[in-house]
Amino acid sequence: MTGETTDDATVGNNVQAEAPFYHEGAPQAFQRLWTPHRMVYIGGQNKPSDNTPAQCPFCTGPERGDEESLIVHRGRTGYVIMNLYPYNTGHLLVCPYRHISDWTEATVAEREEIGELTATAMSVVRSVSHPHGFNLGMNQGEVAGAGIAAHLHQHIVPRWKGDANFMPIIGRSKPVPQLLGEQRDMLASAWAIHVQEPGD
């Protein structure tokens, strides 16, 4: 039976390998979407080596220029930055300047401004990219999916009809058709216009 192949199993050297479970009508589990830029993140090259502010990208980012750090807007207690490894085009993060890890550690002023920045970010992204909806959320702790668990950050993920649902976006790579620097420039310009317009 060596080398014999059946519909649901392969037999070789008296070892049988069962075919993976597949439910009729479900999408294949291993459709491939090549996103080699994410290997830097997956391989850990850009991940902090510890939880200190010196290693934290959300602490060191504001120390550099906006274009270099992909910062869209700086507020009083927090700022808005492009996600370097986005789930979708225009994926933003709202971060406090302080190196805190939990929503309960944020001051009243920080909570209020994170809310204000989130609302403004949604309006700005709508004016630039016209999404049909958003996913908003904070992952608190590594077990909850936080990539940088040591520094609080809120995700703002634009969504369009027909794109993948939220779980595959988190679990797998997704193509981003526009360079992050170009997105940052467009959003920063739109943000400046938005805050100058009264009544928004």
Number of Cβ within a 10 Å radius of residue 64: 11
Q: Is 155 annotated as a binding residue?
A: yes
Q: Is 165 annotated as a binding residue?
A: no
Tokens representing 113 are: 């401004």
73, 91, 151, 153: the active-site residue: 153
d(CA 188, CA 163): 25
- Is 153 labeled as catalytic in the residue annotation? yes
Angle at which helix 108-129 crosses helix 180-196, to 10 degrees, equals 110
Among candidates 161, 145, 171, 156, which has minimal Cα distance to 81? 156
State CA 84 to chain mean position distance: 8
Catalytic residues: 153
In the annotated binding site for substrate, the residues are 83, 155
